[in-house]
Amino acid sequence: MSYDTGTRQSLERDAAQVVARYPKPRSAILPLLHLVQSVDGFVSPDGIEFVADTLGMTTSEVSAVATFYTQFKRQPNGTYNLGVCTTALCAIMGGDAIYERLREYLGIEDGQTTGDGMFTLERIECNAACDYAPVMMANWEFFDNQTPESAVALVDALRAGKPVAPTRGPDKLPTFKENERVLAGFPDGKADQGASAGESSVRGAELADEKGWAAPPYPAGGAAAPKGTKGEERK
Amino acid sequence: MTTLTPVLTKRWGKANSWRLAEYQADGGYQAARKALTMEPQAIVDLVKAAGLRGRGGAGFPAGTKWSFLPKPDGGPRYLVVNADESEPGTCKDMPMLMADPHMLLEGMIITSWAIGCHHAFIYLRGEVVHVYRRLLRAIEEARAAGILGDHVLGTDYQLEITAHAGGGAYICGEETALLDSLEGKRGQPRLKPPFPAAEGLYARPTVINNVETISQVPPIILGGADWFGSMGTEKSHGFGIFSLSGHVQRPGQYEAPFGVTMRELIDMAGGIREGHKLKFWMPGGASTSMFTEEQLDLNLDYDNVIQAGSMLGTRALQVFDDTVCVVRVVSRWMEFYAHESCGKCTPCREGTAWLRDTLCRIEAGGGTPADMDVLGDIPASIGGCFCPLGAGAPLALNSSLKYFRDEYEEHIRLGRCPFDRAATTAFNGEVA
C-alpha cells in the first residue's frame, strides 16, 4: 500500500468511526468505499487493500462488493460527476437530448472523464426525482428541470470556477471527493443549507391549503382505543 | 369528489421544516412520548387495527409483519427502514427525508419500542447526498436532545439509529438484497424462507418497512385506528403520497386517501400537457402493467388495481401523452432492468438482456417480424427467480403489446420509429 503515513493515519481514524456504527464490522464496507473515494477519487487498489485490512477481508472479497455498485468507480473520477437520468420518463422528457448535448459538448462517452479531469459523464438510472424531469445529478446533488442549455451552462460555470447551486441542495456544489466523504457518513455542516423542499414536492400540500382540504382532525382527547372496527365514511 | 389529506407532506413547505426545534414546535415527538407509555403489544395491535399496509409497493399489513417476529430470546432484534427509493417514477421518500426526517425518526422510535429493537437502521440509496445530510443532521439533533440514546425521551428505553448510504443498486430495494448489502455483501436477494422476521439482519429477527410506512405510524398513534380508517377504502385504509410525473401541467406529490382516481389526480395536477391527450399511464412504477384512459375512473387502492390487472406499487403515477412512442419507453425500462438485474438468477439476467436487445433493435428500426415472437415468448419464461425483479420486468411490455401492438409492428414495417422525439420533451421540442 502506498499511502503516506499521514493519509494512512487519517484513514484509520475515520475508518474506526465508521466501523463503530455497526454491530458487525463488515457492514462498514460501503461507507469505507465511499471514504476511499473521498481520498482517491475512485476505488483505488490501495483503497481496496486498506478496506480489506480494516475489515479482515481479502482484496478479492472487497473488489467483489465494490464492483456490484454503480457509485464505486474503477478509474479516477472527474471533479464533477455529471449523471443524466435517461430512464424512460426522464429520457422522453428531455434526458436523451441533454445527454446527447453534453456528450458532444464534452467530447466524451458514457462513463468517460474529460482530459483535464474535470468532468465524468454518465447516463444514470432513475434518481427518485421524477416530478422534476428531466433531472441531472452533479456529484449526486439534484439539478431539477434541466434543458440542454442549462446543462451546458452548468459545465461552463464549473469550468470558469464559478459557484453553482444545486436546485435542492447546499449553497455551492461540492466536489466529487467532498461529497463522497459525506456518503461515508461524515457531515460537512451543509445540512441546513437549501430549501425544505422543491416546487413540485409541495404542490399537493399547497393545493390543499388553497382549497381548504385537510385530513380529519385527530379525535379530541387523543385516540380512542382500537376496537378493530372499520371506519364509517368509506367508498 | 376526493380531496387531498396532507399528513406526511403537510410540513414540507415550511421554512426549516427539517430542524428539530421546528418539528417539536409543530407537536413533534408527542406520538413517541405517548407510545413509550403503551405496552409494545398494544402498539402492534393498534397498527394492525388501523390497517396500515406497507407503502413500499407490496402492500403487506405492517402490524401483521411486526407480529411475525419470534418471541424475544434476549438477543438483538432489528428495525431496518428501506429508503432505497429506486423504482422508476417513485419520488416520494426522498422529499420526505429531505423536508421532514424527524417524522421518520419518530416512527422508528415507536416501531422499535413495539418490536423490542435497540439499534435501528435506515438504508438510504447513495445517490442523494443532500437527503443523507438531512438524515444525519436529524439523528445528530435527536441524540443531542436525548430523543435517541440511552434514555429515549427521558425513559429507560435505549435506542440508536444508524443512517447508512448505499452504493447505487436498484435491487437493494428488495428487502433481502438490502439486508445482504447492509451486511457488507453484494446486494443479492436471499432465498425465502427464512423470512427476515425470523432471520433478517445478521440472521436475527428483523422488521423491514418503507420510509412512508414508518412515517405514518406517529399519526396513527395520535389519531387512532378509527381516525386512520375513516380515510381510504375498505381494504386500503388511510392515505398515501401519490406521485405524478410526466406530461401533466403540475407534476408533484399529492397526498390523498386511497380510492382517489387518476382522473381526479390529473385534474389536481392541472390536466394533461396543453394541446395533448393522455396516451398511457403507469399506476405504480415501471414494474406494473400500464393503463390507458379506460382506467381513469378506477378507485386507486391496492385491491382495485390488482383486479384491474396491474399493481398500485409505490403510487408512482407516470403520465405519457400522445407524442410518446411506447416502444421507446418500454425499451428504456427494459434497459433499466437489464442494467439492474443482479445476475444471480439466470432467467432474469438473460431474459432482461434478450428483451432489452430485441426492444432496442425494434425501436432503432432494425426489428423483424420474428422479434415479435421473441417479445411474446421470453416474458413467460422469466420465472423461478429469488426475487420479483425478473417477473416484474416484462409487465409494462406485455401490457403495451395489449394496447399498442400495432405500434411495434409499424416500427418493423417502416424500419424506423414513426414518432418525433423532440415533441415529447418538457422544453417543447427544442433539441440540440
Place of cell 386517501: B257
Asked if residue B63 has pLDDT above 60, the reply is: yes
Q: B164: helix, coil or strand?
A: strand
Beta bridge partners of B244: B252, B317
A vs B, Cβ pairs < 8 A, gives 357
Of A1, A175, A98, nearest to B431 by C-alpha is: A98
Which cell is B279 given?
396516451
Place of cell 409499424: B410
Which cell is B385 given?
427467480
Q: Which residues contact B41 (CB under 8 A, 6 or more apart)?
A: B114
pLDDT value at position B57? 87
Q: How far apart are CA A205 and CA B3, in angstroms?
A: 11
Q: Pick the residue from chain B with its C-alpha nearest to A145.
A: B426
Q: Pick the residue from chain A with its C-alpha nearest to B421.
A: A92
DSSP H helical segments within B80-149, as ranges? 93-99, 101-115, 129-144
Asked if residue B430 has pLDDT above 60, the reply is: no
Q: How far apart are CA B157 and CA B115, in angstroms?
A: 12
pLDDT value at position B428? 75
Q: How far apart are CA A125 and CA A131, in angstroms?
A: 15
DSSP H helical segments within B207-345, as ranges? 211-215, 217-229, 262-268, 302-307, 326-340
DSSP-assigned letters across all residues of A9-48: HHHHHHHHHHHTTSSSGGGGHHHHHHHHHHHHSS--HHHH
The residue among B80, B133, B359 with the most chain A CBs within 10 A of its CB, best to mutate, is: B133
* Residue A204 touches partner B, C-beta closer than 8 Å: yes
Pick from B49, B133, B339: which is nearest to A125 by CB? B339
pLDDT one digit per residue (tens) for chain A, 235 residues: 799 999 999 999 999 999 999 999 999 999 999 999 999 999 999 999 999 999 999 999 999 999 999 999 999 999 999 999 999 999 999 999 999 999 999 999 999 999 999 999 999 999 999 999 999 999 999 999 999 999 999 999 999 999 999 999 999 999 999 999 999 999 999 999 999 999 999 999 999 999 999 999 999 866 554 444 333 333 3
Q: How far apart are CA A108 and CA B275, in angstroms?
A: 37
Comparing A48-57, B227-236, B379-388, the range with the smallest average pLDDT is B379-388
Contact B119, B76 (CB under 8 A): yes
Report the Cα A62 to chain-centroid distance in Å.
22
Asked if residue B233 has pLDDT above 50, the reply is: yes
Q: B196: helix, coil or strand?
A: coil
Pick from B202, B221, B245: which is nearest to A133 by CB? B245
* Residue B91 touches partner A, C-beta closer than 8 Å: yes
Q: B149 phi and psi, to 5 degrees?
A: 120, -150
Tens digits of residue pLDDT in A86-112: 999 999 999 999 999 999 999 999 999
The DSSP call for residue B171 is G
Q: B317: helix, coil or strand?
A: strand
Contact B320, A106 (CB under 8 A): no
pTM for the predicted model, two decimal places: 0.96
Q: How far apart are CA A50 and CA A1, in angstroms?
A: 8
* Residue A230 touches partner B, C-beta closer than 8 Å: yes
* Residue B419 touches partner A, C-beta closer than 8 Å: no
Cβ of A127 within 8 Å of Cβ of B128? The answer is: yes
**CATH number of this structure's domain A80-175:** 3.40.30.10
Tens digits of residue pLDDT in A64-84: 999 999 999 999 999 999 999
**Which residues of A are less than 8 Å from B43 in CB distance?**
none
Contact B17, B11 (CB under 8 A): yes
Q: How far apart are CA B289 and CA B305, in angstroms?
A: 10
DSSP H helical segments within chain A, as ranges? 5-19, 29-40, 45-55, 59-66, 88-90, 96-106, 148-159, 176-183, 203-211
**Which residues of B are less than 8 Å from A185 in CB distance?**
136, 163-165
Pick from B16, B130, B299: which is nearest to A169 by CB? B130
* Residue A159 touches partner B, C-beta closer than 8 Å: no
Residue B78 Cα, gap to closest chain A Cα (Å) = 11
Cβ of A65 within 8 Å of Cβ of B3? The answer is: no
Which cell is B288 given?
406494473
Which cell is A120 given?
465524468
The residue among A30, A146, A186 with the most chain B CBs within 10 A of its CB, best to mutate, is: A30
Contact B49, B64 (CB under 8 A): no
Contact B184, A27 (CB under 8 A): yes
* Residue A81 touches partner B, C-beta closer than 8 Å: no
Q: How far apart are CA B95 and CA B74, in angstroms?
A: 37
Where are the domain boundaries for CATH 1.10.10 in chain A?
5-66
Contact B362, B408 (CB under 8 A): yes
pLDDT value at position B5? 98
Where are the domain boundaries for CATH 3.40.30.10 in chain A?
80-175
**Which residues of A are less than 8 Å from B241 in CB distance?**
204
pLDDT category at B230 given cuts 50, 70, 90 is very high
Of B172, B300, B176, nearest to B238 by C-alpha is: B300
pLDDT value at position A223? 56
Residue B98 Cα, gap to closest chain A Cα (Å) = 7
Half-sphere exposure of B183 (CA within 13 A, CB side): 19
Q: How far is CA B246 from CA A95, A144, B325, B328, B333, in A?
A: 12, 13, 14, 15, 15
Q: How far apart are CA B2 and CA B299, in angstroms?
A: 10
Q: Average of pLDDT values for B244-269?
A: 98
CATH number assigned to the domain with residue range A5-66, chosen from the 4 options 3.40.50, 1.10.3470, 1.10.1740, 1.10.10: 1.10.10
Q: How far apart are CA A105 and CA A87, in angstroms?
A: 21
Q: Pick the residue from chain B with its C-alpha nearest to A73.
A: B167
pLDDT value at position B15? 97
The residue among A61, A93, A131, A178 with the most chain B CBs within 10 A of its CB, best to mutate, is: A131
Q: How far apart are CA B84 and CA A187, in angstroms?
A: 20
Pick from B48, B134, B221: which is nearest to A191 by CB? B134
Cβ burial of B307 (10 Å; 0-12, 13-18, 19+) is: exposed
Half-sphere exposure of B137 (CA within 13 A, CB side): 24
Asked if residue B431 has pLDDT above 60, the reply is: no
Asked if residue B351 has pLDDT above 50, the reply is: yes
Residue B383 Cα, gap to closest chain A Cα (Å) = 23
Asked if residue B274 has pLDDT above 80, the reply is: yes
The mean pLDDT value of chain B amounts to: 97
pLDDT value at position B313? 94
Taking only residues 340 to 379 of chain B, the set having a beta carbon closer than 8 angstroms to any beta carbon of chain A reads 340, 342
pLDDT value at position A170? 98
B/e letters for B198-219, b = 16+ CB within 10 Å, e = fewer, are ebbbbebbbbbbbbbbbbbbbb
pLDDT value at position A221? 66
Measured distance between the N- and C-terminal CA atoms of chain A, rounded to whole angstroms: 66
* Residue A142 touches partner B, C-beta closer than 8 Å: yes
